[in-house]
Amino acid sequence: MTDISTTYMGLSLSSPIIAGSSDFTSSTERVMEMAKAGAGAVVLKSVFEEQILMEIDAQRTNNMFNSYTDAENYVSFYTRQHEVQSYLNLIRDSKKNAGIPIIASVHCSTNDSWVSFAKDIERSGADAIELNIFILPSDPNENDASVAARYIEIVDSVKKNTTLPVALKVHHYFTGMANFMVNLSEISEALVLFNRFFNPDININTMTIESGGSFSTPEENGLVQRWIGILRPFVKGNLAATTGIHDGAGVVKNLLAGANVVQVATTLYKSGPESITQMNSFLKKWMMEHKYEYISDFQGKLSYAGANNPGLYERAQFMKYFSGLGK
């Protein structure tokens, strides 16, 4: 018997594969498609802090958008297109129809009054909240302690407004990475590693900065495996792996490193929802071949604590490589 069911933030999942926040989780129909394909849960498309603030305080939002830069125009346009109320309806309808856990997602960078929206998310029936905290430490005048404090303030403020489990989707631009991740894991139920940015790509003909595209490659998953593997022994809560998981082998690798679940997006765009079905089949087959009955039988087996050569997560790998001994 092979059982791929698992738990994530106290929720029961039929599979460790979650449809990550994307267009594929932006309508009830699509959420139902994800459930049908075998997703263990979905993270809904994010609602932005700015959208929530707009509903709470129209006057202030007008002030926010008084000076019309391109970026603000975009936010203003986007905000009109995606009403916050319809987000709550999406939670309600998805919960009613999909039959799998529904994780709401908020893209945020402050602990402004939007945090009270967590109450509405809870009332609408979401099973958990994922905070996509987007604070790029790009200000040379702000030190890492101040950036870290902002993260902690956001989580504290949201937690005061909800009893739902909270996952933190973060990037990897931190000093004292392991220490900060462990601190964050102590005030939340899960860490989602890592958020993927829309990287710039300079066009040398038009001399403009363009978006480098939003889809990942499997090579990008190495960074995720490293940090899941390193953090697993130190994080009591859950870890979700995301970025560059495109197939069943990718799922197995991240579970072995120590992830409780994986989140996928790019593969949905490239290969459709059935990619989740294929990943589930691969996972079952791999477990059968290796005689594992439950996910917990092998989850974290190759984490920093479990691997017999954990140095490969660290510097030893580079020494080997640069001395010509590595592949």
Ligand X SMILES: Cc1cc2nc3c(=O)[nH]c(=O)nc-3n(C[C@H](O)[C@H](O)[C@H](O)COP(=O)(O)O)c2cc1C
**Using CA atoms, how far apart are residues 273 and 267, in angstroms rounded to an integer?**
8
Q: Coil, helix or strand for 307?
A: coil
Looking at residues 204 to 223 of the shown chain, list those that interact with ligand X (rule: CB under 6 A). Answer: 214-216
Q: Does 265 bind ligand X (CB under 6 A)?
A: yes
Q: Closer CB to ligand X, residue 134 or residue 180?
A: 134
**Using CA atoms, how far apart are residues 119 and 129, in angstroms rounded to an integer?**
11
Q: Closer CB to ligand X, residue 175 or residue 214?
A: 214
Work out the burial of residue 251: count CB atoms within 10 Å of its CB; fewer than 13 is exposed, 13-18 middle, 19 or more buried. buried
Looking at residues 153 to 192 of the shown chain, list those that interact with ligand X (rule: CB under 6 A). Answer: 169
Looking at residues 268 to 327 of the shown chain, list those that interact with ligand X (rule: CB under 6 A). Answer: none
Question: Of 108-116, 157-165, 260-268, 300-308, which part binds ligand X (CB under 6 A)?
Answer: 260-268
Task: Tell the smallest beta-carbon distance from residue 66 to ligand X (Å).
Answer: 26
Q: Does 196 bind ligand X (CB under 6 A)?
A: yes
Tell me how far CA of residue 239 lies from CA of 206, 236, 242, in angstroms.
42, 9, 10
Q: Closer CB to ligand X, residue 147 or residue 245?
A: 245
Q: By rule CB under 6 A, what count of residues binds ligand X?
A: 23
Task: Tell the smallest beta-carbon distance from residue 59 to ligand X (Å).
Answer: 27
Contacts of 228 (CB under 8 A, 6+ apart): 193, 239, 241, 254, 257, 258, 259, 303
Q: Does 22 bind ligand X (CB under 6 A)?
A: yes
- At position 272, the amino acid (one-letter code) is G
Among 14, 94, 105, 111, binds ligand X (CB under 6 A): 105
Among 266, 275, 299, 303, binds ligand X (CB under 6 A): 266
Task: Tell the smallest beta-carbon distance from residue 64 to ligand X (Å).
Answer: 20
Q: Does 242 bind ligand X (CB under 6 A)?
A: yes
Residues 303, 232 contacting (CB under 8 angstroms): yes
Q: Is 9 left (phi over 0), alpha (psi -120 to 50) or beta?
A: left
b/e 169-190 (16+ beta carbons within 10 angstroms → b): bbbeebeeeeebbbebbeebbb
Task: Tell the smallest beta-carbon distance from residue 25 to ligand X (Å).
Answer: 8
Q: Closer CB to ligand X, residue 53 or residue 276?
A: 276
Residues 41, 13 contacting (CB under 8 angstroms): yes
Judged by the rule CB under 6 A, the positions of this chain that interact with ligand X are: 20-23, 45-46, 105, 107, 132, 169, 196, 214-216, 242-245, 263-267
